[in-house]
């Protein structure tokens, strides 16, 4: 084996080892994201399932609207108001953290 090929093989090996170390560090630092990523994976899987079975969505929607339209609208309104309240709460909780990170009192 000529010296240039040997040098390239050693460089490749060093880069592979460095890459393994970087992946291990990233895995250690990103461990707090694991629950969030699991929920995102579940949502993506649900989306795939729903796109493969659109008849379930249509049948459920039609059944709810035919059975009790007023109840569907009532629960839909409650869900929407709950979602708005959740977003406002998240915004409220994020404000003090942003001001603390800038070094100002809340």
Annotated domain spans of the chain: 1-52, 68-106
Higher per-residue pLDDT: 96 or 101: 96
What does the radius of gyration of the chain's CA atoms come to, in whole angstroms? Answer: 26
The pLDDT value recorded for residue 44 is 94
Q: Hey, how many other C-beta atoms are within 10 angstroms of the C-beta on 64?
A: 14
66 pLDDT exceeds 80?
A: yes
Split at pLDDT 50, 70, 90, the class of 105 is low
Give yes or no for a contact between 57 and 50, defined as CB atoms under 8 angstroms apart: yes
Total residues belonging to the chain: 106
Higher per-residue pLDDT: 71 or 86: 86
Mean pLDDT of 30-56: 90
104 pLDDT exceeds 70?
A: no
Mean pLDDT of 5-14: 95
Mean pLDDT of 90-103: 70
User: What is the rounded distance in angstroms from the CA atom of residue 19 to the CA atom of residue 43?
Assistant: 30
The pLDDT value recorded for residue 22 is 95
Residue percentage of the chain with pLDDT more than 90: 47
Give yes or no for a contact between 56 and 47, defined as CB atoms under 8 angstroms apart: no
């Amino acid at each position: 084996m000529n010296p240039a090929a040997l040098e390239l093989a050693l460089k490749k090996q060093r880069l592979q080892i460095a890459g393994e170390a970087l992946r291990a560090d990233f895995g250690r630092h990103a461990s707090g994201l694991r629950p969030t990523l699991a929920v995102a994976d579940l949502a993506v899987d649900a989306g795939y399932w729903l796109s493969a079975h659109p008849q379930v969505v249509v049948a459920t929607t039609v059944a709810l609207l035919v059975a009790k339209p007023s109840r569907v609208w009532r629960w839909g309104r409650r869900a929407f108001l709950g979602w708005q309240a959740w977003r406002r709460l998240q915004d409220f909780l994020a404000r003090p953290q942003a001001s603390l990170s800038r070094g100002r009192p809340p």
